[in-house]
Amino acid sequence: MTEDNAVKEVERETGSGTDLWSVIIAPFIWAAHFLVCYVGAAIYCQKLGRDADLGDIRLLVLGATAVALVGIGASTFRLWRVRGRSLTDNDFEYEHDTPEERHRFLSHVALMLCVLSAVAVIYVTIPMLYLSSCR
Amino acid sequence: MTDRQAEEQQLAAVWESPKGWRYWSDVNNTVVGLWYTATAFAFMLFGGVLALIIRTQLAVPENTLVEAETYNQVFTLHGTVMMFLFAVPIFEAVAILILPGMLGARDLPFPRLSAFGYWCFLIGGVFVCGSIFFNSAPDAGWFMYPPLSTEQSGIGADIWLLGLSFIEVASIAAAVELIVGVLKCRAPGMHINLTPLYGWYVLVVGGMILFAFPPLIAGDLLFELERLLDWPFFDVTRGGDPILWQHLFWIFGHPEVYIIFLPAIALLAMIVPTFAQRPIAGYSWIVLSALGTGFLSFGLWVHHMFTTGLPSISLGFFSAASEAVAIPTGIQIFAFISTVMLGSVVRSVPMLFCLGALAIFVLGGLTGVMVAVAPFDFQVHDSYFIVAHLHYTLIGGMLFPVMAGIVYYYPMVRGKTLSRKLGIWSFWLMFAGFNISFLPMHLTGMLGMPRRVFTYGAERGWSELNLLSTVGAFVFAAGFLILVWDCVRPRRQEPDAPRNVWKAGTLEWAARFGDNYGLRSIPHIDSRYPLWDDKDFTRKLDAGEGLLASAEEGKRETLVTSVLDAKPIQILRVAKPGWLPMIAAIGLGAVFIFMTFKWWIPTALGFALFLWATLRWLWTGTAEIPEKESKDAGGGLMLPLYVSGVRSSGWWAMFITMTGDFTAFLALLFGYFFFWTIHPDFPPPGVTGPGWVWPVMAGMAVMLSWGLTFASRLVNAAGHPGQARFLLVAGGIAALVACLAVLAGPWTSGLDPTTHSYPAIVWTLAIWVVAHLATGVLMQGYCFARSLHGKMTPRYDADIWNVTLYWHFAAIMGVVTCLVIGFFPMLT
């Protein structure tokens, strides 16, 4: 890394705090949402029979989706700020040899995982919108 | 002789492989990795022969080459061998072989564990494969669905079950080893954003193994309890349900597909940049896709169960997740393609296999998106369409990348290059043969041919397509054999491959061939492709300017660094060759094998051998008190030789192992609640056990034992080893009391596990807890003995840290079990 780049690196200090655990927050939210939806619906349909209307459980799933999206959104918001401050030189490679770069890299991965997780949460919710019974 | 030469001789002497028959006691990653890879390929050839028998039998209608019963054994064993003895182990094998070099480590942190895993794999694999020669191979399909598998008479199902449980032990051992390796053994300066992509994939896959394999182990436990003791988990007439097995199997089985696929595609991430002569495009996107796939792959398992009659809303969730996983999978494919497009590609055999892999895998992925749609799946379920789909994904996603990897890494491992001409022949025969064989199967399946039938009538109209598939299979096999021949043929006369023969940029190519110790010295890394970015890199390396350039104490040493930024934190002394891993594997193998035949005395002897070998292994060479506090790693960098607690690799290994173990516990708990959901009355009417009194007492005793162990650690650290020993003894007594109390609940209330699934699952949970408490007592006793012999002191206390960590998990399992079996019946 040239000296010039090293100076820039310090100038665009974006903080720290994104470690491996926080990278997987969004997919973890997806997993929790998925389990709530599946387990909730499976128990509901098993206990109420195949003719039961999905009414109540639909509310649970939609509520869980709202909570999940808010959670992913909050995570995204924090990471978006890191992103905004880190794009001063159009550098998407994240290959410099500093803790700062490592933090920006993990934040970038986490940000993209937020997008993926949000898409997956919405995907999983869709069947609940057009199915009406436990059949 | 100069100092440098003397250092090199020290290193060579310390890391030298044992000679003669002692060679088999070696534990170094380069040697064990080679055995592992060769053994996995040997099993693959065996599975391939079975495949050819299948194809020959199906070549013409009404064929009589093999009987229906033999055919069942052949296809079951084909699937089993390819999945459990090739696809998963080849990941472990290749990772053990090449990962340390990539990270700049001298070895993985637990070499004896790798060797133990290897011997488990070998013994279990030979046992499972050998069964077919005695006409007693498993014959209910590689996913062993009950009730077919539980109610048929032969011991094939037991062989499958116990043989594979044993091999799962090897997988989890490898996961522990590899996760700690990637996180803690990277060369200094190799920040997590500079880690080779292979390391990222290994990390993700290791994590997946911890959550995917344990449910199968739990399932195996239930399955074997039903086979051995007639506990009716899957028997509908006594409150069981075969669907539970399908859940537990596929919670393992679908992530397993990605456990196979990701590390193979990781090889592409190493190979493609080398031949495109440029860094990988979209490094962070590939990391995203590996992580995303790792997570989403756990939301897919029910798509194997679309036709079991689950509510359509359940199918909807899993169908949606199955579609979603195509997004991250697609991202990495695009990253590879763009790397190829942005670079200037060098034509080579590994690259041919890479491109072939992409072509085949994309087709398999597309049919995957098709079968993820439930109504389409209803039509093609259990037909040859599925056979075609799964072979496209596995051969495109695993076999071709692994072949690319074999050709690519052969010079690094064996010091010679493979023949280019034979490689090209091999590739085109395999590529053409594969497509000739499997492309028609899509049609055969659409025309209605079910999988696993041993023959078919000519009037069905499947004859031509089947004949074509058979021809393709033999062409494919010919291509494969050419490569195998090229790998094993004698090549003494051929010139040695030059160092870094492909002009790659990553660290594993910096080592000289034949140096068992890996790199001459451990360099400081400041880029993803150090060999490209620093022209002086190799010279500095060879001059011993990095860390750990010598081994003056005659110990095998490697560097431990911090997780995110790879700052050096410890010099880890790793084990030298020894027989204990092999003996432990033989003991454990004896347990599993003799249990199959219900020979209880040899089983007990095997267990005793296993226990003795494991304890001896731990006693000699783990947490050894070093002769000095710290040591100069080079350039005046003083690093400690002993650390305990959360900074030590042993603590992380325990944490990772127990995470896997806890997942297995959750799978059993899932079984309990599964039975609750399917029964209107749970517990069944008239059953009162186990009551709440005994579970409450058991839970309290568990907490007491946990507290005493924890207190023992603190008291020991405060400088009172005598009091710490007393607390350990008290903790052991409390744990034994807890064992009795846990069993007293179901025992005194007369729960008979053979009558219904409810008492059976309660007993299973109780036994699970007792087994863990008993292991905990053993560990407390171990710490007591270590302390008494001065091997564990207030300063050097890694043992009790790790045992306390074990007890955190054991206590949670104990208390949760007591609460569930004691109080849940009151809520229903």
Say which residue, B276 or A89, is predicted with more confidence: B276
Measured between CB atoms, does B152 come within 8 Å of chain A? no
Nearest to A127 among B317, B324, B678 (CB): B317
Substitution target from A93, A126, A130, A135 for chain B, most B beta carbons within 10 A: A93
Measured between CB atoms, does A45 come within 8 Å of chain B? yes
A54 to chain B: closest CA residue: B313
Q: Are B181 and B111 in contact (CB under 8 A)?
A: no
Measured between CB atoms, does A12 come within 8 Å of chain B? no
**DSSP β-ladder status, B568-574 and B638-640:** unpaired
Task: List CB contacts (< 8 A) between A43 and chain B.
Answer: 677
Measured between CB atoms, does B565 come within 8 Å of chain A? yes
B676 to chain A: closest CA residue: A43
CATH number reported for the structural domain that contains residue B819 in this entry: 1.20.120.80
Query: What is the token pair recorded at B12?
Result: 């060579």
Q: Which residue has the tokens 């349909």?
A: A45
Give the residue from B808, B732, B810 showing the smallest Cα distance to B770: B810
Cβ–Cβ of A45/B314 closer than 8 Å?
A: yes
Amino acid at position B581, single letter: P
Cβ–Cβ of B320/A113 closer than 8 Å?
A: no
Domain boundaries, chain A: 18-130
Number of H helices, E strands in chain A: 5, 0
CA angle B712/B715/B719 to nearest 5° reads: 135
DSSP assignment, residue B85? I
DSSP assignment, residue B626? P
Nearest to A45 among B311, B525, B526 (CB): B311
Task: List CB contacts (< 8 A) between A120 and chain B.
Answer: 296, 299, 321, 324, 327
Measured between CB atoms, does A6 come within 8 Å of chain B? no
What is the predicted pLDDT for the residue at A17? 65
Task: List CB contacts (< 8 A) between B677 and chain A.
Answer: 42-43, 46-47
Angstroms from A22 CA to nearest CA on chain B? 13
Measured between CB atoms, does A43 come within 8 Å of chain B? yes
Q: Are B520 and B493 in contact (CB under 8 A)?
A: no
- Average the pLDDT over B263-273 and give the result: 96
Give the residue from B272, B349, B669, B662 showing the smallest Cα distance to B505: B272
Give tens-digit pLDDT for B187-207.
999 999 999 999 999 999 999
- Residue B162's SS3 state is helix
d(CA B320, CA A123): 5
d(CA B753, CA B763): 7
In whole angstroms, how large is the CA radius of gyration of chain A?
Answer: 20
Measured between CB atoms, does A105 come within 8 Å of chain B? yes
Give tens-digit pLDDT for B673-716.
999 999 988 889 888 879 999 999 999 999 999 999 999 999 99
Q: Which residue has the tokens 């870094």?
A: B500
Q: Which residue has the tokens 């895993």?
A: B117
Angstroms from A112 CA to nearest CA on chain B? 7
Give the residue from B669, B744, B665, B739 showing the smallest Cα distance to B704: B739
| C-alpha B357, offset from chain centre | 23
A-proximal residues of B, 665-704, CB under 8 Å: 677-678
d(CA B457, CA B444): 13
Give the residue from B130, B139, B160, B131 showing the smallest Cα distance to B69: B139
Backbone angles phi, psi at B383, to 5 degrees: -110, 175
Say which residue, A8 or B175, is predicted with more confidence: B175
B280 to chain A: closest CA residue: A93
- Average the pLDDT over A111-133 and give the result: 94
| C-alpha B195, offset from chain centre | 21
Q: Is residue B798 part of a domain?
A: yes
Cα-Cα-Cα-Cα torsion B629, B632, B636, B638, nearest 10 degrees, comes to -30
What is the predicted pLDDT for the residue at B688? 84
What is the predicted pLDDT for the residue at B772? 97
Q: Are A128 and A60 in contact (CB under 8 A)?
A: no
Cβ–Cβ of B317/A109 closer than 8 Å?
A: no
CA angle B402/B85/B772 to nearest 5° reads: 120
Q: For the stretch B777-806, what's the b/e string if a residue is b when 16 or more beta carbons lie within 10 angstroms of its beta carbon? A: bebbebbbbbbeeebbeeebbbbbbbbbbb
Measured between CB atoms, does A132 come within 8 Å of chain B? no
- Counted across chains A and B, CB pairs separated by less than 8 A come out at 131
Q: For the stretch B741-764, what's the b/e string if a residue is b when 16 or more beta carbons lie within 10 angstroms of its beta carbon? A: bbbbbbeebebebebbbbbbbbbb
Q: For the stretch B678-714, what's the b/e string if a residue is b when 16 or more beta carbons lie within 10 angstroms of its beta carbon? A: bbeebbbeebebbbeebbbbbbbbbbbbbbbbbbbbe
- Over 80: is that where the pLDDT of A5 sits? no
Amino acid at position A23, single letter: V
Give tens-digit pLDDT for B318-354.
999 999 999 999 999 999 999 999 999 999 999 999 9
Q: What is the number of domains present in chain B?
A: 1
For residue A21, name the pLDDT band (cuts at 50, 70, 90): confident
Task: List CB contacts (< 8 A) between B525 and chain A.
Answer: 97
DSSP assignment, residue B550? -
In whole angstroms, how large is the CA radius of gyration of chain B?
Answer: 27
For every residue of B444-504, DSSP letters joined together read HHHTTPBTT-S---GGGS-HHHHHHHHHHHHHHHHHHHHHHHHHHS--SSSPPPPTTTT--
B292 to chain A: closest CA residue: A113
d(CA B204, CA B79): 25
d(CA B246, CA B76): 17
What is the predicted pLDDT for the residue at B503? 94
Cα-Cα-Cα-Cα torsion B127, B132, B133, B134, nearest 10 degrees, comes to 90
What is the predicted pLDDT for the residue at A97? 85
pTM: 0.94
For residue A90, name the pLDDT band (cuts at 50, 70, 90): low
Q: Length of chain B in residues, anyone?
A: 828
- Over 80: is that where the pLDDT of B781 sits? yes
Cβ–Cβ of B321/A124 closer than 8 Å?
A: yes
Q: Is residue B629 part of a domain?
A: no
d(CA B787, CA B288): 46
Backbone angles phi, psi at A91, to 5 degrees: -100, 105
d(CA B20, CA B828): 66
Give tens-digit pLDDT for B65-75.
999 999 999 99
A36 to chain B: closest CA residue: B317
A-proximal residues of B, 389-428, CB under 8 Å: none
Nearest to B678 among A46, A94, A128 (CB): A46
Q: Are B139 and B76 in contact (CB under 8 A)?
A: yes
For residue A11, name the pLDDT band (cuts at 50, 70, 90): very low
Q: Are B263 and B195 in contact (CB under 8 A)?
A: no
A32 to chain B: closest CA residue: B299
Q: Length of chain A in residues, anyone?
A: 135
Give the residue from B427, B433, B504, B514 showing the smallest Cα distance to B475: B433
Cβ–Cβ of B677/A46 closer than 8 Å?
A: yes
- Average the pLDDT over A39-57 and give the result: 91
What is the predicted pLDDT for the residue at A92? 73
Nearest to B193 among A50, A92, A95 (CB): A95
For residue B270, name the pLDDT band (cuts at 50, 70, 90): very high
Which of A18-22, B602-606, B747-751 is modeled with the greatest confidence? B602-606
- Residue B522's SS3 state is strand
Measured between CB atoms, does B534 come within 8 Å of chain A? no
Cβ–Cβ of A94/B316 closer than 8 Å?
A: no
A-proximal residues of B, 281-300, CB under 8 Å: 283-285, 287-288, 291-292, 295-296, 298-299
Cβ–Cβ of B317/A34 closer than 8 Å?
A: yes
Q: Are B215 and B667 in contact (CB under 8 A)?
A: yes
- Over 80: is that where the pLDDT of B751 sits? yes
- Over 60: is that where the pLDDT of A10 sits? no
Q: Are A78 and A53 in contact (CB under 8 A)?
A: no
Measured between CB atoms, does A51 come within 8 Å of chain B? no
Give the residue from B162, B170, B131 showing the smallest Cα distance to B144: B162
Structural domain span for residue B779: 649-827
Bridge partners of B522, per DSSP, are B547
B282 to chain A: closest CA residue: A93
Give tens-digit pLDDT for B533-544.
999 999 998 888
What is the predicted pLDDT for the residue at B480? 97
Q: Are B219 and B168 in contact (CB under 8 A)?
A: no
- Over 80: is that where the pLDDT of A87 sits? no
B331 to chain A: closest CA residue: A116
Mean pLDDT of chain B, nearest integer: 94
Task: List CB contacts (< 8 A) between B191 and chain A.
Answer: 97-99, 101-102
For residue A16, name the pLDDT band (cuts at 50, 70, 90): low
Measured between CB atoms, does A119 come within 8 Å of chain B? yes
A21 to chain B: closest CA residue: B564
